[in-house]
Amino acid sequence: MIGCSISTIVRMISSPYFTASGRQTRSATRAAADALGKKKKPARKHVKIEYESENQDGGREQASDDSKEDVASKKRKKDTSVTKKQSSDWEPANWREQLANIREMRKLRDAPVDSQGCEKTADMNQSAETIRYQVLISLMLSSQTKDQVTFAAMEKLKAHGLTVENILKTPTSKIGELIYPVGFWKKKAEYIKEATKICAETYKGDIPPTVKDLTALPGVGPKMAHITMNVAWGEVTGIGVDTHVHRIANRLGWVKKPTKLPEETRVAVESWLPREEWDELNVLLVGFGQQTCLPVGPQCESCLNCKICPEGRRVTRGKPSKTK
Q: By CB under 6 A, what part of segment 127-186 binds ligand SF4?
A: none
244: contact with ligand SF4 by CB under 6 A:
no
Binds ligand SF4 (CB under 6 A): choice among 312, 318, 319, 323:
312
306: contact with ligand SF4 by CB under 6 A:
yes
240: contact with ligand SF4 by CB under 6 A:
no
Strands 82-85 and 47-49: antiparallel
Least distance (Å) between residue 208 CB and ligand SF4: 35
Phi, psi for residue 82 in degrees, rounded to 5 = -80, 120
Least distance (Å) between residue 298 CB and ligand SF4: 4
Task: Count other Cβ atoms within 10 Å, centred on residue 55.
Answer: 11
H/E stretch holding 83 reads strand 82-85
220: contact with ligand SF4 by CB under 6 A:
no
Cβ-contact 262, 223 below 8 angstroms: yes
User: Is 273 strand, coil or helix?
Assistant: coil
Q: Which is nearer to ligand SF4, 101 or 127 (CB)?
A: 101
12: contact with ligand SF4 by CB under 6 A:
no
Least distance (Å) between residue 250 CB and ligand SF4: 9
309: contact with ligand SF4 by CB under 6 A:
yes
How many residues touch ligand SF4 under the rule CB under 6 A: the total is 13
Q: Which is nearer to ligand SF4, 217 or 306 (CB)?
A: 306
Examine the residue annotation and report whether 260 is marked as an active-site residue of this protein.
no
Per DSSP, helices labelled H in 170-242 are: 172-179, 185-202, 211-215, 222-233
311: contact with ligand SF4 by CB under 6 A:
yes
Phi, psi for residue 295 in degrees, rounded to 5 = -55, -45
Catalytic residue among 223, 257, 307, 322: 223
Binds ligand SF4 (CB under 6 A): choice among 113, 217, 224, 252:
252
Q: Which residues contact 104 (CB under 8 A, 6 or more apart)?
A: 304
Cβ-contact 188, 166 below 8 angstroms: no
The single-letter DSSP state of residue 162 is -
List the one residue out of 215, 216, 218 whose CA is nearest residue 227.
215
293: contact with ligand SF4 by CB under 6 A:
yes
Least distance (Å) between residue 289 CB and ligand SF4: 8
User: Is 110 strand, coil or helix?
Assistant: coil
Q: Quick one: which segment of 162-170, 257-265, 266-274, 298-306 binds ligand SF4 (CB under 6 A)?
A: 298-306
Phi, psi for residue 323 in degrees, rounded to 5 = -80, 155
292: contact with ligand SF4 by CB under 6 A:
yes
Closest residue to ligand SF4 using C-beta atoms: 312
Q: By CB under 6 A, what part of segment 77-106 binds ligand SF4?
A: none
DSSP per residue over 250-271, as a string?
Answer: HHHT-SSS--SSHHHHHHHHHT
Residues designated catalytic: 223
Residue numbers at the binding site for ligand SF4 (CB under 6 A): 251-252, 292-293, 298-300, 303, 305-306, 309, 311-312
